A = this chain, B = another copy of it.
Amino acid sequence: MFVYTRKAHYHETDQMGVVHHANYPKWMEEARVAFLDELGVSYGAMESAGVFSPVVHLSIDYKRPARFDDEVEVQLAIAKYTGVRLEVGYTFFNRTRNELCATAASAHCFVKDGRVVSLQRALPAAHERLLACLREENAL
């Protein structure tokens, strides 16, 4: 499990006095980028190599709202990886309030030259790192 920690910014609040729900997909993306970085898979380098990884599915269950200045952990793990599809699971834990904030999932494909591709072919090194990470998770 990878942990990305983040404070809730003022500009992320809405007039209900909580972090607006549309910010959660952004936090998921930030966590994903940081996680891939740690794996040695730079998202920037992937795009420079012409490989994009769009979100094809997103779901979020909001449990308890985060508020301005709360410190929130986004805990992330690979749920499934097939070479052509990556599924990621997320738990938002509010450290300031010591409570579960949200759970979420995203799914991604890989695209090169406008076509869906297998990451295994497009970027074998990245593929190997994702596989290794998944094996490690399963071993726990």
Interface residues in A, total, Cβ within 8 A: 35
- Flag the segment in A9-17, A74-82, A85-93, A129-137 that touches B: A9-17
User: Knowing A55-B62, A62-B55 touch, does A22 contact B15 (C-beta < 8 A)?
Assistant: no
Instruction: State the number of copies, please.
Output: 4
Minimal beta-carbon separation of A47 from chain B (angstroms)? 7
| B25 adjacent to A10 (CB under 8 Å) | no
A9 in complex: contacting residue of B26, B52, B54, B58, CB < 8 Å = B26
Choice from B29, B57, B62, B65 contacting A60 with Cβ under 8 Å: B57
CB distance from A69 to the nearest CB of B (A): 5
Across the interface, A14 reaches (CB within 8 A) one of B13, B30, B33, B61, namely: B13
Q: Is the pair A21, B55 in contact by a Cβ cutoff of 8 Å?
A: yes
> Measured between alpha carbons, how far is A16 from B47 in the docked complex, in Å?
9
Closest 6 A/B residue pairs (Cβ): A59-B59, A13-B15, A22-B25, A21-B55, A11-B26, A58-B60
Q: 10 A-B residue contacts at CB 8 Å?
A: A11-B29, A11-B30, A15-B68, A22-B26, A25-B25, A33-B69, A42-B69, A54-B65, A56-B61, A58-B59
